[in-house]
Chains A and B, each alone.
Chain A
Amino acid sequence: MKKLAALLLTAVLSAGLLSACGGSQNSGSTDGGKVEGKVTIVTANDTTGSVTHMLEAFKKAYPDVEIDHQMVPGASDDVKQSIMNSFVAGDADPDVIACDSIWVSQFAAADWLLDVTSELEAVKDEYLGGPLKTCYYNDKAYAFPDYTDVGLLYYRTDIIDTPPTTWDELVKLCEEHKGEGGTEYGYIFQMFQGEPTSCNMLEFIKQNGGHDLQDGKFSMANENTYEALDFVKGLIADGTTPEDVLGWRPDDCVSVFDEGKAIFMRNWTYAYARAQSEESKVAGKVGVCALPVGPKGTESSGTLGGWNLAINKNTDNKAAAIALAKFMTSAQAQKIATIERSTFPTQKTMYEDKDVLEALPYLSSMKEAADKAAPRPQVRDYPTISTIFQEYFHKVLAGGEENEATMKAMDEALNAALEKMK
C-alpha cells in the first residue's frame, strides 16, 4: 500500500515537472508563440505623458497584452528602493522596469534581471555605443537602452548671444549679465548629497582634465581636482551660484530656471522640454550647448546618464515582457519619447529624423556630446563608490574641509572599496 502511494506520488510529481518545463519553453520563444496576458511596467514619474503615449502605440501593435503602468514619484534613488523591495522578495511583478543605467551591473550581479543577450545582440547595431554598453554586465546583456542622458549647459537666449566654452567666459558672462531679464543667479547646478553630487562634481573635474577610475585605481588627489573644487566653492562664495545648490536636485534647478531666475543651468536632457513648456516663464528663450571647459581641460565633458528597460527574472509573462521592452526602445517609440520629453534617443537614426530635429533643433549637434559622454566608474558596485564621492566632495564643498587632505582620504576610501569588489 505504502509503495503504491509512493509510486503514485512520484508519477504525479514528475508529470508536474514535465509540464512545468514545457510551459517555460513555450513562453521562452518570443517570435513563435502568441504574445498575450498581463504585464506590469514600473517607470519613474512621467510628467510629459510620453510614456503613456508610447504604451498606447504598443497596445496597437499588441492588442492582446494588458498593461499595468505604475509610476514611482521622486528621484532615481527613491525609484530604486521601491523596485528593490519587489526584487528582494522574489515577486513576479513588476515584469518590466525602467532601470537607471548605473543599476544594471548591481541588479545583474544580484541575479534579478533576465538575460536578454540574444534579443539585444540581434538589434544592437541600431543603438549608440555608449548607452548600449551600460546594458551589459560580464559580457551578457540585461537591458535595452531606453534613452541616453548627458549633462548639458542651458542658457537664456534673450540675455546671452554666444554661449561660453570655458569656465572663465562663463564667470565673465555671469558678472556682466546678472540681474538682466529678472535673473538673480548666474550659474546653477545640483549638489544635493546624493547622486547629483557625484554626477556634477565628476563633470567639473573631467572638464578640467581630471579623471576618476583610471588603470584600475582611483588617484583623484591632484591639481585638476583641487582646481575644480575651488571653482565650485568660488562660484558659491562670490554669489554667481546660490549656496542652495548644495541641497538641490535636478528638479529644484528646473523650477528656478523656469521661473527665469538664472542665466545658466547645468542639467540633464529632460530639462529642455520642461523649460519650453507652457508653465515655464522662459519658454522660447532657452538655448542648449555642451558644458564649458576648465583651465586645465581640453574638451567638454558631461556625465553619461540614461535609463534602460530591464526585465524581472521571475516574470510570469516572459514573451510579453520582452516584446514590451523591445517595443519601448524601438525607433517608433523613441520618436515619441524624444519629441515629447526631449530626452536623447539611443537609436542612431533618430539623430537624423526630420520630425525629431524639428522639435529639438540642437539634437544633431549634440550627437557627439551624447556619444562621448563620460560614464561614471564602471564597477560592479557603483553605488558604494558613489556614496564615498558624495561624502568627501560634500566635506569640501559644505563642510569647509581642506582640498588636499580630504581628496587623499577619499582616494584611500575608494581604493579600499574597490579592492573589496574584486
Chain B
Amino acid sequence: MKKRHVSRDRRDNLTGYLLIAPALLLILAIGVVPVLITISYSFQHYLLTEPQNRHFVGFENYIEILGNSSFWLVLKNTAVFAVISMTLELVLGFTGALLMNGAKKGGRSLVRTTVLIPWAVPGIIIAYMFQFLFNNQLGPVNVILSHFGGAADFSWLTKPWSAMFVVILADAWKQFPYVALMLLAGLQTITQELYESAAIDGAGKLKSFFYITLPNLKGILLIVLLFRTMGAIRIFDIIFGITGGGPASSTATLLYQAYKYLFSDMNYGKGSAMSTIITLIILAISILYIRVLGRRDED
C-alpha cells in the first residue's frame, strides 16, 4: 500500500519536472550559460584584435581593473548615482502613490495612466530628451531659469556636479512611476478600518502615516529598494545618451566602463571581468537586502 503511494508520488514528481523542463532549459540557455561564459572569459587574455593569442591568465584582468584608479572613480560615481537617484525616486514615488490612492474615482485612471508615461519611454529617448532640456543654447530649462534670475546660458553638462545632477534627475524621472505603482499596490492592501479606528482613538494624519501606512508597506518598500538598487548599479542608457561618461569621467559608471572595455578596446577578457565584478556587487547587496527581508518575516 505504502509502496504504491511512493511510486505514484514519484511519477507525479516526474510529470512535474517534465512540465517545467522547457522553461528551465530556456532559463539555462539564456540566463545561466551566458553568465558562465562571461565568467570564463574573465579569466582569459581575450582581445578581439588578437584572435590567435587567447589564453588563460588567472586573476590578471581583475588585478588590472582593481589596481587602476579609474575603477575607484567609477565605483564612487555609481554609488553617488545610486544613493541619490534612489532617494529621489522613493520620495517622488511615495508622493505619487499617496496622490493616486487618494484620487477620486473619475480622475484615478487618468492620473495612473499619466504617471506611467515616463516609465514606458525607452531610456535612450529620455536621455536625449534631457540632453536637449539642459542644453545651454536651446534648452528650455535655462530659458525658464532666466525668468527667475538664473543664468541664461548655464552650462549644465560640462561641470562634474551639474552633469551628475542631470543624469540623476533623468533617471529619477524615468523610474519613479515604477516605485509609485508598486507602493500604490501596497497601499491598497491596507484596510480602511485601521485608519478609521486610529481616527477614533484620536490619531492625526501624520501619526497614522507613521504607525499604520509605513509599517504595512515595509515589505513592499524593501522589494522596491532591491529592484531599484540593481537598476541603479546597472545604469547605462541614460549616461550613454546624456554625457557619454564625461566631463572628466565624472559620470562614468561601472557598466559604462565595462562597455568601454568591450566595445572600444575590444577587450573581452577585461570587459567580462568588469561585468563579473558588477554582478558580484549586485549579488552582495541583494543578499544583504534579502536577509533584512527574511528577518522581517520572522517576527
Contact = CB atoms under 8 A, between A and B. Distances in A.
Contacts of B160: 398-399
Given A244-B137, A380-B49, A193 B264 contact: no
A111 B49 CA distance: 8
Interface stretch (A216-224, A366-374, A381-389): A381-389
Contact of A391 (B48, B70, B243): B70
B250 interface: yes
A379 to B, nearest CB: 11
A243 interface: yes
A381 B48 CA distance: 10
Nearest to A245: B158
A16 interface: no
Interface string A239-259: 000111111000000001000
Contact of A394 (B136, B159, B246, B266): B246
A6 interface: no
Contact of B249 (A193, A261, A383): A193
A242 B265 CA distance: 31
Nearest to B263: A81
Contacts of B260: 387
Contacts of A110: 48-49, 51, 266
A398 B246 contact: yes
A387 B263 CA distance: 12
Contact of A383 (B51, B136, B137, B265): B265
A177 interface: no
B157 interface: yes
Nearest to B155: A243
Contacts of B48: 88, 110
Contacts of A391: 70, 249
A192 B244 contact: yes
Contact of A192 (B50, B136, B159, B246): B246
Contacts of A244: 136-137, 155, 157-158
A380 B49 CA distance: 8
A357 B70 CA distance: 49
Contact of A193 (B50, B248, B263, B266): B248
Interface residues of A, number: 33
A261 B136 CA distance: 13
Which size bracket describes the interface of B in this complex?
Answer: 20 to 34
A243 B49 contact: no
A80 interface: yes
Contacts of B264: 77, 383-384, 386-387
Given A242-B153, A247-B157, A383-B265, A394 B248 contact: yes
A160 interface: no
A397 interface: yes
A398 B158 contact: yes
B177 interface: no
A238 to B, nearest CB: 15
A106 interface: yes
B271 interface: no
Contacts of A193: 243-249
A401 B247 CA distance: 13
Contacts of B245: 193
Interface string B233-245: 0000000000111
Contacts of B248: 193, 394-395, 397-399, 401
Contact of B158 (A80, A84, A243, A386): A243
A123 interface: no
Contacts of A395: 248-249
Contacts of B159: 243, 398
24 contacts: A84-B266, A110-B49, A194-B246, A242-B153, A242-B155, A243-B158, A244-B136, A244-B155, A245-B158, A246-B155, A247-B247, A256-B137, A261-B137, A381-B49, A383-B264, A383-B265, A387-B260, A387-B265, A391-B70, A395-B249, A397-B247, A397-B248, A398-B248, A399-B250
Interface of A: 77, 80-81, 84, 88, 106, 109-111, 192-194, 242-247, 256, 261, 380-381, 383-384, 386-387, 391, 394-395, 397-399, 401
Given A80-B263, A387-B260, 12 more contacts: A77-B264, A193-B245, A194-B246, A242-B136, A242-B153, A243-B155, A243-B158, A244-B158, A381-B265, A395-B248, A398-B159, A398-B160
